[in-house]
Amino acid sequence: MEFTAKQIADMIGGRVEGDEQAKINTFAKIEEGKKGAISFLSNPKYTPYIYETQSSVVLINEDVELTQPVSCTLIRVKNAYESVAKLLQLYASMMPKKTGIDPLAFVSKSAQIGENVYIAPFAYIGDGVKIGDGSRIYPHVTIYDGCQIGKNVTIHAGSVIGADGFGFAPNQEGYEKIPQIGIVIIEDDVEIGANTCVDRSTMGQTVIHKGVKLDNLIQVAHNCEIGENTVMSAQVGLAGSTKIGSWCMVGGQAGFSGHIHVADKTFIGAQSGVISNTKGNGEQLIGSPAIDPKLFFKAAAVTKRLPDMYKELAALRKEIEELKKTK
């Protein structure tokens, strides 16, 4: 498939600067541009590449001012990142998509599978599981008995939905298992990355609400609840019974104690440790224990000077003792 810059601009409501007939047939990152490719410039760190890219066409925000001439054709748009996303969606929608239940998948006879579902080879769908229309289950996904998956849910390879929550009661000789008789509910439009784990609840449900996006290698413990449209980067961990609000953003490797509530629209930095309820909407937190980011980075800067501060403190003590003697 080949398109002209004009055709692309019309698709996404952009304005061409340069050769309207420039032809493109593929995508490329701006720093790896080549003839026939369309690239985009969104992150200002990559601006220098626009002057040297080999790509034929570059999507760029309307308000970016260029300081030198460029050899590529530009398509000016309101938001280059959104426009490239739209183009990639158009491109992906033209690609053939796998569908149906692969004969190498295991699907329990008592599972209820919706329409237009893809279940890959070696996926395991347990007894009583429900999977809504349009969902995609990749290889080596395990969905334990009784868990419910909504519509248009994507679960990438190796993720495990509904393994037992981690519940044991100590006695004299060791630990007794607390049976985990609850389930996992994953609502519509959720995407779950590879090798992520969402444990079933002790009783009741572990719930991943509508539109949540979880990256790879994340741990969601029993009885947790993640609010609508919250996104979490890779390797985040939630201890049991914690509730995360909607529209939160959580950086990679962050951890949450059990039984806490995180408010809607909270932003949690990478590697943070959140150990208590958060205050309210729009709060930002980073560090372990997590605090305000401005304070965190100021304190981190001072931390480097701690050894000097320690010496200075001792020096001041000495000088004050001298002063006291001589006053």
Which of positions 194-233 make contact with its own copies (CB under 8 A)?
A: 194-195, 197, 199, 201-204, 210-211, 213, 215-217, 219, 221, 223, 228-229, 231, 233
Cβ–Cβ < 8 Å for 40, 60:
yes
Which of 35, 166, 283, 293 binds its own copies (CB under 8 A)? It is 166
Residue whose tokens read 């000097």: 308
**Site for its own copies contains 29 (CB under 8 A):** yes
- Minimum distance from residue 142 beta carbon to its own copies (Å): 4
Which of 7, 21, 25, 89 binds its own copies (CB under 8 A)? It is 89
- Minimum distance from residue 30 beta carbon to its own copies (Å): 10
**Distance between CA 257 and CA 323 in Å, rounded?**
50
**Site for its own copies contains 52 (CB under 8 A):** no
* Positions in 125-144 near its own copies (CB under 8 A): 138-140, 142, 144
Which of 43, 71, 112, 281 binds its own copies (CB under 8 A)? It is 43
Q: How many CB atoms lie within 10 A of CB 316?
A: 10
Distances (CA, A) of 66 to 69, 70, 81, 83, 200: 7, 8, 18, 20, 53
* Positions in 256-315 near its own copies (CB under 8 A): 257, 259, 270-271, 273, 288-289, 291, 295, 297-307, 309-310, 312-313
Cβ–Cβ < 8 Å for 188, 210:
yes
**Site for its own copies contains 11 (CB under 8 A):** no
**Site for its own copies contains 91 (CB under 8 A):** yes
**Site for its own copies contains 189 (CB under 8 A):** yes
Is 222 an active-site residue?
Answer: yes
Structure token digits, residue 141: 């996904």
DSSP string, 88-150: HHHHHHHS----EE-TTSEE-TT-EE-TT-EE-TT-EE-TT-EE-TT-EE-TT-EE-TT-EE-
**Site for its own copies contains 158 (CB under 8 A):** yes
Cβ–Cβ < 8 Å for 180, 167:
yes
Give catalytic residue positions.
Answer: 222
